[in-house]
Structure 1
């Protein structure tokens, strides 16, 4: 049975998706000249869930991440959920319905059962072993129940122990209260994500001295960029999926440019 909170999240994601499509359609046509060459060449482009179409390559899988790495992108965005026996796996949704047409709940299923039924779902240690230290990892922890925080914190610490917080990776969250489960990390390892209330998140990021914040490019103002750059914090925007939008974000000095077409955006920068 679907939980009311999960239905609410899916509704929010649908509304957010409509908003993104409308804004993207506008900015694909809005004239935007190329930014100065140094800004374009220094873009830190992050592949959102890897290079995927969910047909030939499925999101949040090693083939999707491999394709992004081969394209030369700066970073990977990936989602982490916990299995019933509290192992972190890389998967976006609470269940497999959207991608597999059958609802197996990640949080109610043991790791060995997930690996038997869906061998293409990677664990977080597998992803870190393959890309850690080579590409910057933006690891989004999902807003789910933490039944044994001490165990989950220890296992996350074990996963990340060979990486430098803030340099090799950031932990991201739409629900920043989840950062409290990972007190072994410094504040600059955290990046909050805003759905709509970017102003509220901006205040939180400044107060808590996080490594930065991320949100939709339309909601990220020049004043906000200046403020957080003045605090030594990074700002990420998504999703720059067209040439003109890429030019706009690069010209504004955005630190992390998230894209669902990161390989294509990286090629534009390379052609410069």
Structure 2
């Protein structure tokens, strides 16, 4: 049986870093905009400051989307309070996002090793175990978070475990690998380095093993509809507006959680 996080009717729609045509990714307005479109699952990224505060931010460095410079990890929370995303919005903390939207579920991509213990502390303090899914490209980092939590929390496979599950699925071993690796779902790209990852057979075998496949990052309506027809368990999209229309045409929206 799926845990509370994944226990919902039909495929899950995730907004990728919220929704902002202006590029205000991972900011409060971007997350608010996605929620306004009907999303109840938000994909976000986290990194940790020099003084141990978990921030909602994707890049290692500040330059691409902010007026700051250098690595986020080299700054304190106080120093980051003056930094603005696209010149307008501040970088929020994970604790702030959890508190602001208690009825929303977060798919949290843990971007650095320094975030392992701080994210555990935020989840424990907020009692958000059923509201978050722990993700990371690094399975080692992901498992370090899970082992330190006092209660089970949903988790998706990193790159290594995803590859092992894909290789094991034709042998009927996908469920065994997933259980051993503490994986509740796979979050994968449709293609990787030119090779198909998400195929109809792979999705069918994963579904039979009780492992939903979530596909990122899907921004075109025809591709969304094709993947949903193939039985994927979720889609992650930058185009939350498009995905919301697709989901509304399929059934109840906003998604009931």
Tell me how far apart the structure 2 counterparts of residues 185 and 177 of structure 1 sit (CA, whole Å): 18
- Residues 60 and 79 in structure 1, CA contact (< 8 A), matched pair in contact too: yes
Answering whether residue 97 of structure 2 is matched by residue 127 of structure 1, we say yes
How far did 1:87 drift?
1.0
Check 1:201–1:99 CA distance in 2 against 1; reply closer, same or farther (3 A cut): farther
Secondary structure at 1:117 match in 2: coil
Answering whether residue 108 of structure 2 is matched by residue 139 of structure 1, we say yes
Tell me how far apart the structure 2 counterparts of residues 200 and 221 of structure 1 sit (CA, whole Å): 16
How far did 1:263 drift?
2.0
Secondary structure at 1:100 match in 2: coil
- Residues 47 and 114 in structure 2, CA contact (< 8 A), matched pair in contact too: no
More helix by share: 1
Relative to the length of structure 1, the TM-score reads: 0.72
Q: Residue 67 of structure 1 corresponds to which residue in structure 2?
A: 33
Check 1:234–1:160 CA distance in 2 against 1; reply closer, same or farther (3 A cut): farther
Q: Which of 15, 34, 52 is the matching residue for 1:47?
A: 15
Tell me how far apart the structure 1 counterparts of residues 186 and 245 of structure 2 sit (CA, whole Å): 26
- Residues 194 and 201 in structure 1, CA contact (< 8 A), matched pair in contact too: no
Relative to the length of structure 2, the TM-score reads: 0.76
Structure 1, unpaired ranges of 5+: 1-40
Answering whether residue 163 of structure 2 is matched by residue 199 of structure 1, we say yes
- Residues 95 and 122 in structure 2, CA contact (< 8 A), matched pair in contact too: no
Check 1:263–1:159 CA distance in 2 against 1; reply closer, same or farther (3 A cut): farther
Tell me how far apart the structure 2 counterparts of residues 271 and 227 of structure 1 sit (CA, whole Å): 27
Check 1:159–1:92 CA distance in 2 against 1; reply closer, same or farther (3 A cut): farther
1:84-122 Cα shifts (integer Å, max 9, x gaps):
111100000011111125423111111111113346100
How far did 1:176 drift?
1.0
CA RMSD of aligned residues (A): 2.6
Structure 2, unpaired ranges of 5+: 1-8, 169-176, 192-196, 251-257
Check 1:157–1:268 CA distance in 2 against 1; reply closer, same or farther (3 A cut): closer
Q: Residue 210 of structure 1 corresponds to which residue in structure 2?
A: 183
Q: Residue 3 of structure 1 corresponds to which residue in structure 2?
A: none
Between 202-211 and 75-84, report the one with greater CA deviation.
Answer: 202-211
- Residues 56 and 92 in structure 2, CA contact (< 8 A), matched pair in contact too: yes
How far did 1:236 drift?
0.5
